Amino acid sequence: MKTLKPFTLPKLIKFNGSNCSNYSNALHAQFHQTLHDLVKAATPKKWLITADLLDAWKERIDMETDIAEEAKQSALTEALLEKDVERDSYVTHILKLIDEFQRSPLKTMHEAARQLAPIMRVYNGVQREPAEVETEKLNGLELDLAKHSAETATLGLTTLINAMHTANAEYQALRSQRREEAIAADLPAARRVRREADDILEVVQAYVKEAFLQAADDAEKQKMEHLAEQMNRAIDDFRTTFNQREAQRLNNKDKEEEKNRTMLAPFIPALEEHLQLATGSITPTGKTRSVSKRKVFELRVSGRDESLWVALKNKALVEVKIPEKKNGKKPTTPKNGKNNGGKSGGGNGQGSASVTPKPSANPSGEN
């Protein structure tokens, strides 16, 4: 039987996988910046990594950082939306209370509400006005109500009016901040910048391997081996950070969905009865999305492919129509993109199904 002659393979440098394609823009930029700094600090006598290559890499890292900063503006936009919903809720509640107090058996409240009713009629529907128009009209509403402080105090509206004032002022401040921080530059698509940075990293890693193989002496080999160890350590650290964040995100998502399912459970039997469905036909998924400034919840119906979307309003379950996508198909579940925050909005109108749960139900988190 023939035997193989002993042979020692030359040592090679290998780089660990990073999974960086799944990183957020901010984490992806930090990842590349860390590796860029390690490579730039290396001082081999000879390798193929040029200053131009490092500069091109750095340029894309900086561009991605700018894109990540711009993404923060989306968070500010979301804060504006939430604040708008908040101030709308105060106005709606004030209008509703004044309307109800007009039918109060207590004369003092009845008369106070009658004094305020003509004023409030002017502001009916202000919640549906364009943002800037609504801001100015709410300022006007506040001034008009201030002229009737005795009546508003009689009806116990002072706290609500103060809350409306605060929410409107905070909305104006956020709006100003959004204008000031708007990025004038037309940034390229994040996907292209990320891909180019990843391509450069792939070339850099190949050149580090080449420099190790072509090193003139052991000292040069040790330099490249040490650089590779540093890069791999950074790669592992960022991958661990991503995995931890992703696990936390999924855990939080699961908790939120379970909370939503628990909240909706008391409403399901009444909805099934209203829709003439068998008991157990409807299952809340816990998933949510935003439609016309409202938080809506996804329900699964046995035997149907499409989801049923509903909102909670005044302890009533209201079916909501989801706007069709451009291709004419309705989404069945919300899309959760990693870089854009998964935000989806817009919507036109809502259905007329309104179902009141059993008196014993007392869910929280109504809209």
Q: What is the pLDDT of residue 201?
A: 98
Higher pLDDT, 183 or 153: 153
Mean predicted confidence (pLDDT) in 23-37: 96
Residue 299 in any domain: the answer is: yes
| Residue 257 near residue 77 (C-beta atoms within 8 A) | no
Mean predicted confidence (pLDDT) in 29-55: 96
Is residue 114's pLDDT more than 70?
A: yes
What value, to the nearest 5°, has the Cα angle with vertex 260 and ends 258 and 262? Answer: 70
217 shares a domain with 142: yes
Residue 220 tokens read as 């040069």
User: Among the three residues 202, 233, 254, which one is the final residue of a domain in this structure?
Assistant: 254
Residue 114 in any domain: the answer is: yes
270 shares a domain with 207: no
162 shares a domain with 25: yes
Rounded to two decimals, the pTM is 0.55
As beta bridge partners, residue 296 has 289
**CA neighbours within 13 Å on the CB side: how many for 358?**
9
**Residue 25: which residues within 8 A CB-CB, separation 6 or more?**
64, 67, 68, 71, 190, 194, 339
152: exposed, middle or buried (C-beta count within 10 Å: 0-12, 13-18, 19+)?
Answer: buried
Residue 340 in any domain: the answer is: no
| Residue 346 near residue 249 (C-beta atoms within 8 A) | no
| Residue 149 near residue 156 (C-beta atoms within 8 A) | no
Q: What is the pLDDT of residues 307-344, one digit of tens each?
A: 999 988 766 677 887 765 544 444 444 444 334 433 33
Q: What is the pLDDT of residues 250-309, one digit of tens each?
A: 888 889 999 999 999 888 888 888 888 899 999 999 999 877 667 889 999 998 888 999
Q: What is the pLDDT of residue 363?
A: 36
Distance of CA 66 to the CA centre of its chain: 19
118 shares a domain with 60: yes
Q: What is the pLDDT of residue 353?
A: 39
169 shares a domain with 204: yes
User: Among the three residues 226, 254, 282, which one is the final residue of a domain in this structure?
Assistant: 254
Helix 158-180 and helix 51-101, axial crossing angle in degrees, nearest 10 = 160
58 shares a domain with 142: yes
Residue 86 in any domain: the answer is: yes
Residue 123 tokens read as 């502001």
- The amino acid sitting at 293 is K
285 shares a domain with 148: no
Whole-number Å distance between alpha carbons of 364 and 323: 27
- Other Cβ atoms less than 10 A from the Cβ of 50: the count is 10
Higher pLDDT, 71 or 362: 71
**Residue 203: which residues within 8 A CB-CB, separation 6 or more?**
53
Residue positions counted in the chain = 367
271 shares a domain with 234: no
Domain interval for residue 58:
12-254
140 shares a domain with 70: yes
3-state secondary structure of 60: helix
Q: Where are the beta strands (DSSP E) in the chain?
A: 282-291, 294-301, 308-313, 316-319, 354-355
301 shares a domain with 161: no
204 shares a domain with 102: yes
48 shares a domain with 19: yes
217 backbone dihedrals φ, ψ, rounded to 5°: -150, 175
Q: What is the pLDDT of residue 31?
A: 98
DSSP one-letter code for 310: E
- Other Cβ atoms less than 10 A from the Cβ of 60: the count is 24
Whole-number Å distance between alpha carbons of 353 and 284: 17
- The amino acid sitting at 102 is Q
Residue 82 in any domain: the answer is: yes
Domain count, the chain: 2
User: Among the three residues 211, 231, 254, which one is the final residue of a domain in this structure?
Assistant: 254
Residue among 158, 177, 155, 176 nearest 166 (CA): 158
Mean predicted confidence (pLDDT) in 150-176: 94
Return the top range by mean pLDDT from 190-194, 249-253, 350-354.
Answer: 190-194
